[in-house]
A and B are shown apart, each in its own frame.
Chain A
């Protein structure tokens, strides 16, 4: 029943044995030990499980791990580089964009995908993107502010 696959997460290969029904979220968390990605509903609505698959945001609870065999995944653990926080991570801290932190990895990856695609994204489009994920603590106000601020920084760097 189990088959061997390799999940490449943040540049590192994780060879694991999984049943076909093992969701990508569970494989990332349990089999690869990367627990930064969270599951808030496991039916694809809350977005807490958002990771990047070849640079595109996907809900990892809606994929089976076997479908990501050999593909490049990025999770929140890979946002910081050489001990330097990603502009989004810094912005979330500066602008109080998190309280309990449970939805935060999902938002960070979603925002990272959006800003890497277009750091000049407009306000309306950004709001649409950020409406994909649920947060129960912050009321979203500071999340939007934080992502805006990070976008500014990433635009300059580009």
Chain B
């Protein structure tokens, strides 16, 4: 099969409306006679909800209704996406708090008014009386009572294989570290929003503002409402970034749908930024106590990790997925003969957490790579060499780890990690870099470099189905259950379809995020869209191509083997001049028959694919302020096959920026009463263009996946996982204190403390 579009950095089909201001994001959608919903949220981190006085709010200007838990008593709590879990079900979040509030930001009441300003005015007049209870703000502190008979540790996940204890007894050296990653999250630039309206004639609730996993979200909302999912249609317009945060079921989505049903008018809810920072999913906060047993050559004999995951007040739709992924993916690209991970899923009185781009891998990657640096330091080995010695060799592929990650056995499909490491070192000219840094250090600059390697996962199955149809004008529709969060699925799928079918990608229109049009979908998450849906598109388009050739063969009275589809026409392979048929003509000819140019394509997979990469960071530290300037970075990532290299690089650059935020800037902080401190963009600091280093991106296609027809591994999450580790290592190198960085983000205050402590130690030594 010729590839004309796959592999090319073609311009995106999505862009024209977006650069001309014609996007349709949730806030842009309006229906006649709509009401605005405003959520009243708990101002206390923990307490008994004594009373809610809605009397003032009810009579405020423009107010149509005010609800509390009593008004929505029939709603079931927010359920888990993957299905019931006996251990977590008792802890699920109610749509509106009934007896207890458990985090600042928890929905307590809702106001419905004629416009958003009036709704906000009225919400202020709702009086919430809470009898405060002491908040639990540390996940590694001993669990307390969630409610009588239940502790704040609903479950513990254990994974592992091999005889870890024996390995530690036989070890040449044991390295032990205490590490922590800070609480931060995706924080997309568009806040959450939902607009629902009810069609009484058909008994359909239509909700706009869906994203990510519209089918699953539809099912989740339906469960809470106690309705048949078929009576709920979710529609996705333009989406201002997801990163895993947007598109899960939140209480607000359920309320908007119920309100449309009960109040008989469309209901619009657009979250503001303050709300987003205290109510949309948090992520990333974990504390690890990790040990490694190594031999004299620095090779891993065993890893033993116990960690505490700060889940916040309630489980979210992913249940314990992040803990599972952390434990399952921590060994990374290294051969680990024995492994034990114990992940404590702990509830605290903070905003609930869930998956955020590369979930579990930013955390686990930081832990693993700090460990590798510590091993190098302990044994006096070069930190690149230590990594190289531990990498799984390509000859070992497919490589099994006797444990599962999110229900999938860990079987790494393909990878040449050593080669990627070589390419990374060559690309950044590592040796010359070390020399130049030494010179600069001799001249008094605090500069250093760090390197980290990582393993990613993508494309969890089990399957996806798409439908490709050639229309009578020759245009092509690809119907998917996928979702766009801005990453370019329309273009990527168009490219795949175009090559498989034989048309120009610009003639392909991709439908996504419309649950009414397609029964099932996997949406877009876990870097699965291109792998799973893309593969299904490939299959469906190939099926349509076969049908087109068969139909044309019939029409042209020519054997099918003599025909090909090129640039939207069915042509004879042997003579370019001979009569060709437009696909549209063929479609018209067979319309309405069994031979119609429409086909389904299903792609099934039993295993995930495992992209992998390496990152190098070069930093300069300001010893007087603890400030860190990141001068250069290299992100190297093997995606098996890049459908659109330009888009792959875009994903890596964007992911890198988020990883950088987590490494240096972003943190949800709380005071001792559980009051969130990071509530505006003046407190929650995301990198701007000035904070970005010169960024080099190396997209590698050394190890296509054998698990799908195009060899693709997902690129969406690859920019993120190693940034924390690489920057931490670079800072250690710059300040000359190995193992100094154990906590992310490395804020100026923290770094200065490290420097001051070291200077005191030095001074004491001199005395």
Contact = CB atoms under 8 A, between A and B. Distances in A.
Check whether chain A touches chain B (CB < 8 angstroms): yes
Interface of A: 19, 21-22, 29, 34-43, 45-46, 48, 75-77, 79-80, 85, 89, 92-94, 96, 98-105, 108, 127-128, 130-144
B117 interface: yes
B427 to A, nearest CB: 16
A135 B690 CA distance: 12
B657 A43 contact: no
A105 B238 contact: no
Nearest to B485: A100
B432 to A, nearest CB: 24
A128 B690 CA distance: 7
Given A93-B19, A104-B18, A139-B695, A39 B688 contact: no
Given A37-B21, A76-B21, A93-B11, A139 B682 contact: no
A80 to B, nearest CB: 6
A45 B682 contact: yes
Nearest to B242: A100
Contacts of A46: 189, 273, 681
> In which size bucket is the chain B interface?
35 or more
B117 A21 contact: yes
A86 to B, nearest CB: 9
Interface stretch (B390-398, B527-535, B566-574, B648-656): B648-656
B27 interface: yes
B752 to A, nearest CB: 24
A92 B19 contact: yes
B686 interface: yes
Given A39-B27, A99-B487, 9 more contacts: A21-B117, A35-B21, A77-B21, A92-B15, A102-B188, A102-B241, A104-B19, A136-B241, A136-B658
Contacts of A99: 241, 486-488, 650, 654
Contacts of A39: 27
A43 B680 contact: yes
B20 to A, nearest CB: 6
A93 B15 contact: yes
B767 interface: no
Contact of B189 (A80, A103, A108): A103
Contacts of A100: 188-190, 238-241, 485-487
Q: Is the interface of B mostly helix, strand, loop or mixed?
A: loop
Nearest to B14: A101
B290 interface: no
Nearest to A94: B11
A98 B189 contact: no
A133 B14 CA distance: 22
Interface string B606-646: 00000000000000000000000000000000000000001
A75 B28 CA distance: 15
Given A108-B19, A130-B689, A35 B647 contact: no
A134 B189 contact: yes
B241 A138 contact: no
Contacts of A93: 11-12, 15-16, 19
Nearest to A30: B30
A134 B243 CA distance: 16
B187 interface: yes
A140 B686 contact: no
A132 to B, nearest CB: 8
A136 B187 contact: yes
A36 B719 contact: no
Interface string B12-53: 101110111111110110000000000000000000000000
Given A40-B190, A134-B189, A140 B692 contact: yes
A122 B25 CA distance: 34
Given A102-B189, A135-B189, A43 B22 contact: no
A77 B684 CA distance: 31
B747 to A, nearest CB: 19
A101 B682 contact: no
B753 interface: no
A37 B657 CA distance: 24
B717 to A, nearest CB: 13
B688 A134 contact: yes
B408 interface: no
B758 interface: no
